[in-house]
Amino acid sequence: MAKKQNRAPFAVCVSNEGCDDLQVWKLYRVLPDAAGAAEGYMRVVDESGEDYLYPESRFVVVDFPVAAEEKILAVATFDA
């Protein structure tokens, strides 16, 4: 079984007030950003296809098993 790294690759948006580039209840890819996390922000690839910092309060991190993460990443399209 593959060992899970300590990371948060996906999060679900629970609030998009004032953010046209987020959709509530949509699953988003999260990128590592230690400086942003230290300030309470999460780096997310949003609807624009670019990654931006958003307040962590707008998201709930989803912890999938490694096999599920791999399958999601294999079929997902990220316009980066």
Q: Mean pLDDT per segment of 10 residues, for the chain of length 80 residues?
A: 59 94 95 96 93 97 90 71
Instruction: Please identify, in words, the CATH class of the domain defined by 10-75.
Output: mainly beta
pLDDT of residue 36: 97
What's the pLDDT at 5?
55
d(CA 30, CA 73): 12
Global model pTM greater than 0.85? no
Closest CA to 31 of 60, 14, 10, 59: 10
- Residue 78's Cβ-side half-sphere holds a number of Cα atoms within 13 Å equal to 17
Q: What is the pLDDT of residue 80?
A: 43
